Structure 1
Amino acid sequence: MRLEFDAVLFDLDGTLIDSTAAVRRAWLRWAEEEGVDPAGLDGTKGKPAKDIVAALLPPERHESGLARYSHIATHDLEGVVVLPGALEATTAVGDHKAIVTSCTRDVTAARTTAAGLPVTEVLVTADDVERGKPEPVPYLKAAEQLRVDPRRCLAVEDTASGLASGRAAGCTTLGIGTDLDADIVVPDLSHVRFEVSGGRVTLLARTEQV
């Protein structure tokens, strides 16, 4: 499969880096400290931390609860690693990319540094939008900052909420994993190749699902 885009918009956790264990440890520790039933964390994968905190704590504790989670998440980084094909993909597309993540900016910086992922100039985090994934706002904002049409972008995601966000913004979607509702699905980014020519990004996929 060969497709052309103006830019590639990458999710972070589960797409470019694996922070699964660190995320789980951080939320379980947070829940214990805040007196929250850990069962309330079920089904929250891919959602912004501020939304999770808001759903589990009373309004007067939202600010302190989010600050506490951010502190835990930026200090527990054991096991955070870059995923197969991520460095090659982000390097290949050059400046024609953005990272669109539900993490806060400080957590994003900590995890990308821990994984050894180079800094991406255009970055949209939970701090930059009022309505996060699955709303289209994060991907629309990334396309706007890159000065491209979101309908000419590829959104790369590993969760249903992230793919819904990219789709709602008008992007073509590339799902990382299995059993995902996306235009194309691959196990990881090592199964695709990106090339840039004439200011356009070409996607070459070895495995596809349409």
Structure 2
Amino acid sequence: MPSPRVLGRPSAFLFDCDGVLVDSLASAEAAWAAWATTYKPDFDVRDLQHGRRAMDTIAELIEADLVEQAFEDLLARELETVDGTVAIPGAAALTASLPTGRWVAVTSGPRKLALARLNSAGITLPERLVTAEDVDRGKPDPQPYERGAEQAGVPIGECVVFEDAPAGIAAARAAGAGWVVGVGAGAYTPWSEGLLPDVVVPDLSAVRFVDGELLIDEELPKP
């Protein structure tokens, strides 16, 4: 068995939620598809840019005077299907192994939905959480991860970010994160030229934090 790769010695750990800590893809796509029948019948959920705030996506799809109503409708549909959310392999074990107060969930989703999905997946809730309501600009803007570092109480350059979505990886890079770990093969899709993670793992079972070192046991090769 090959020796683990030592990625670094981060002081804090910033996790995206959907696709990193929890698998909510099927329920989210079902909610968006049902939503589209009312608000945007020609919308194809395969075109959905994961990792962005739903409000930002909706604002690009429909008339401005319907955006707030449409967002509330989508949120209700997503909450109805939250029981289908499960933990990403390794997520519960990794987060449980981290120093108290030093891991933060940084999600593009609303707080109510993020907490519901984490609960459904059996992930111990983080002491600190940055959600769509906590930022003026969502991913790929750096603000969400800047806020995450503030919540952790350490400089962003001492933080490792775990992300699955190109928009989130771009946000982490723009914020100046010390390390970016991609989760799943989709993390190799660049938001723009050069914005790739330092390493991509199949899931969080390939990551450990031992004696202050972040260890990578398995990497996904570049496609």
Same fold (TM over 0.5): yes
Which residue matches 1:207?
218
Match 2:42 to one of 37, 41, 57: 37
Which residue matches 1:186?
201
1:202 deviates by 2.1
Contact 1:70–1:106, Cα closer than 8 Å, also in 2: no
1:36 deviates by 3.4
Secondary structure at the counterpart of residue 185 of structure 1 = strand
Contact 1:90–1:97, Cα closer than 8 Å, also in 2: yes
Which residue matches 1:49?
54
Q: Deviations over 1:56-80 (max 9, x none)?
A: 1111001111111111111112421
Secondary structure at the counterpart of residue 38 of structure 1 = coil
Secondary structure at the counterpart of residue 93 of structure 1 = coil
Please give the alpha-carbon distance, in whole angstroms, between the structure 1 residues aligned to 2:95 and 2:67: 35
Structure 2: gaps of 5 or more residues: 189-195
Q: Deviations over 1:132-172 (max 9, x none)?
A: 11110000001012110000100000011111111111111
Q: Deviations over 1:82-117 (max 9, x none)?
A: 011000111111321000001011111111111111
List 4+ stretches of structure 1 deviating above 3 A.
none
Listed as ranges, the matches of 1:29-178 within 5 Å are 29-39=34-44, 42-94=47-99, 95-171=101-177, 172-178=179-185
Contact 2:18–2:24, Cα closer than 8 Å, also in 1: yes
Please give the alpha-carbon distance, in whole angstroms, between the structure 2 residues aligned to 1:40 and 1:90: 31
Please give the alpha-carbon distance, in whole angstroms, between the structure 1 residues aligned to 2:84 and 2:45: 24
1:40 deviates by 6.8
Aligned in 2, Cα 1:41/1:67: closer, same or farther, shift over 3 Å?
Answer: farther
Secondary structure at the counterpart of residue 89 of structure 2 = coil
Please give the alpha-carbon distance, in whole angstroms, between the structure 1 residues aligned to 2:48 and 2:84: 22
Contact 2:40–2:61, Cα closer than 8 Å, also in 1: no
Secondary structure at the counterpart of residue 32 of structure 1 = helix
Secondary structure at the counterpart of residue 174 of structure 1 = strand
Structure 1: gaps of 5 or more residues: none
Contact 1:122–1:146, Cα closer than 8 Å, also in 2: yes
1:188 deviates by 0.6
Contact 1:155–1:174, Cα closer than 8 Å, also in 2: yes
Contact 1:193–1:203, Cα closer than 8 Å, also in 2: yes
TM-score by length of 2: 0.87
Which residue matches 2:192?
none
Aligned in 2, Cα 1:138/1:74: closer, same or farther, shift over 3 Å?
Answer: same
Contact 1:16–1:86, Cα closer than 8 Å, also in 2: yes
Please give the alpha-carbon distance, in whole angstroms, between the structure 1 residues aligned to 2:45 and 2:62: 11
Secondary structure at the counterpart of residue 131 of structure 1 = coil
Contact 1:40–1:56, Cα closer than 8 Å, also in 2: no
